[in-house]
Amino acid sequence: MNSLPSPLPSALAGCRALVAEDDPVLQLLLTETLAEVGIDPVLATDGHQAVALARAQPFDWVLMDVFMPGMDGLEATRRLRATDATARLCIIGLSGNDDAPSRAACRAAGMSDFLAKPIDTEALLERLHGWLGRPHEAATAAAPQATEAGTDGAAAAAIDLSRLDALCSGDAERTRKYAGHFLAAVEAGHTAMAQALAAGELDRLQGEAHRLKSSARWVGALGLGDLFAAVEAAARSGDRDRLPPLLADCRRAGADFSDRLQRHLAQTAATGAQA
């Protein structure tokens, strides 16, 4: 985790956050990041669980993934706003889609704020600090706008492992753990997307690609994240002819990232042994 101004961790210690997120990699990243500064994270894996937990327990904030299976974050937010006990709860939307329509949908659903994935750790904690003790207001977050990158050869090869190192504060064991979770999620995602395409279930394929896009960008697999974004867009538009070559590109980019990551981990371990 990035170094933070000392007042932030002390101010956040003892608070409680509901984390509504279906991606296992991001679940790990978010809950460990919060726990490191003394926040008690409670995990919900879909909108139904998020609504039930928020109604049953007190929380200082809800970190609400927008795109989840079953009940998504938008509907979960609308239901929480319709209940007196949670009507003024701070709900911060999390999404891999950082565009005007996505932000507008979050505001319309009643979210208090918005953060685009991949989420900068320091920005997340500063945002939580800013909302601490404040009731819900209209969403006014103004995070930088982003556009989906292209998927040419250079983009597909883009890798920035400094992102993963920063997430893990240079801790080699933690880096290896996060890397293992991510690579396992990508392998399972490849299989799930191929099965969804074969079954003609483009909505399921879109959801898998959206989930993988966010976690890939967070750990520094930028080109792979862009390819998952292209798969998501093709599935959304029903472009079936484009999907098979895109999925093949995802597998190649995933293998390239895995090779690069394994070399990086080996180099990190060797450097640590010499220190």
Q: What is the tens place of the pLDDT at every residue in 199-215? A: 999 999 999 999 899 88
pTM: 0.72
Is the Cβ–Cβ distance between 96 and 116 less than 8 Å?
A: yes
Q: How does residue 154 score in pLDDT terms, banded at 50, 70 and 90? A: very low
Q: How does residue 274 score in pLDDT terms, banded at 50, 70 and 90? A: low
Q: Tell me the CA distances in angstroms from 98 to 101, 102, 105, 265, one per residue in order.
A: 9, 7, 11, 31
Question: Would you give the DSSP letter of residue 82?
Answer: T
Is the Cβ–Cβ distance between 73 and 44 less than 8 Å?
A: no
Q: Which of 33-37, 99-103, 169-173, 188-192 has the lowest mean pLDDT?
A: 169-173
Rounded Cα distance between 229 and 235, Å, is 10
Strand 61-65's sheet: what is its strand order? 40-44, 16-20, 61-65, 91-95, 113-116
The CATH fold assigned to 153-274 is Four Helix Bundle (Hemerythrin (Met), subunit A) (1.20.120)
For CATH 1.20.120.160, the residue range(s) in the chain are 153-274
pLDDT over threshold 50, residue 238: yes
pLDDT over threshold 60, residue 262: yes
pLDDT over threshold 50, residue 139: no
Phi, psi of 69 (to 5 degrees): -70, 160
User: Over the chain, what is the mean pLDDT?
Assistant: 86
Q: How does residue 173 score in pLDDT terms, banded at 50, 70 and 90? A: confident
Residues 16-36 have a mean pLDDT of 93
Rounded Cα distance between 212 and 204, Å, is 12
Rounded Cα distance between 226 and 265, Å, is 23
pLDDT over threshold 60, residue 7: no
The count of other CB atoms within 10 Å of the CB of residue 137 is: 11
Superfamily of domain 7-131: Response regulator (3.40.50.2300)
pLDDT over threshold 50, residue 21: yes
Is the Cβ–Cβ distance between 206 and 198 less than 8 Å?
A: no
pLDDT over threshold 70, residue 5: no
Please indicate whether residue 3 or residue 18 has the higher confidence score (pLDDT). 18
% the chain with pLDDT above 90 = 59
What pLDDT score does 122 carry?
A: 86
C-alpha triplet 130, 169, 177: angle, nearest 5° = 110
% the chain with pLDDT above 70 = 88
Residues 239-256 have a mean pLDDT of 94
Please indicate whether residue 190 or residue 142 has the higher confidence score (pLDDT). 190
For CATH 3.40.50.2300, the residue range(s) in the chain are 7-131
Is the Cβ–Cβ distance between 49 and 80 less than 8 Å?
A: no
